[in-house]
Homo-oligomer: A and B are copies of this chain.
Amino acid sequence: MIKLLIYEDNPQLREGLTMLLNGSDGFEVLASFKNCSNVLQELRIYKPDVILMDIDMPGSDGIEGLKQIRLVDNEVKILMLTVFDDNKNVFEAISNGANGYVLKKTPPAKLIEYIQEANSGGAPMTSSIATQVLKMFSSLHSEKGENYNLSEREKQVLHLLVNGYSYKMISAEMFIAIDTVRSHIKKIYEKLHVNSKSEAVAKAFKDRIV
């Protein structure tokens, strides 16, 4: 019997998880909470095997809770739940001793598998997370990311975009018509597989093409 604690601010999801797990053989949800303000106390009282910890909670967030727990307990397995597979949180979580990191959209059957895996000493990750982790690793050694075959001019435009330039400013800076700026940006979007300026900027940072 795997004993669980759940920390999740969204009431629906909290209830859903609790019901799912209590209804599954070999699982017992001891309690669930909407934030981790009293996580240490609760840990002492319930002595769970595995903790499901939402990352994006108001007040004391999941990373904070994780840190607190790891100050006093290195045994309990902590599985982080999140809607995002972004770099920062993954890194923070695993640097601070999380045992796994899974997306909330993970189907129930998978989630159950992951919990079992965490409980038996594994490190379950949804594949997009694992990919992130591998990317981070690769980036430690290989200096440059994808190139996306951006042309020189396109790289210049993207560079200016990343530095907060509007189309008008780019047009002025590069001595080309604003419509030409549009053309370039459209091409850039195609190549990066995005469709907004901020997505392009984000991608530029993530893939280090800046």
A95:B202 contact, CB within 8 angstroms = no
The verdict on A44 contacting chain B, using a C-beta distance below 8 Å, is: no
How many residues in A have their beta carbons less than 8 Å from beta carbons of B? 55
CA distance A141 to B94 in the complex (A): 10
A70 nearest in chain B by CB position: B142
Interface mask (A79-113 → B, CB under 8 Å = 1, otherwise 0): 00000101110010011111110000000000000
The verdict on A183 contacting chain B, using a C-beta distance below 8 Å, is: no
Contacts of A131 on B, CB cut-off 8 Å?
A: 121-123
| Between-chain CB contacts (< 8 Å), 30 pairs | A56-B156, A84-B163, A86-B162, A86-B163, A87-B210, A88-B210, A91-B137, A94-B134, A95-B140, A97-B138, A97-B142, A99-B134, A117-B127, A121-B127, A121-B131, A122-B131, A123-B131, A123-B134, A124-B127, A124-B130, A162-B198, A163-B202, A164-B194, A196-B197, A197-B197, A198-B198, A198-B200, A201-B205, A205-B205, A205-B206
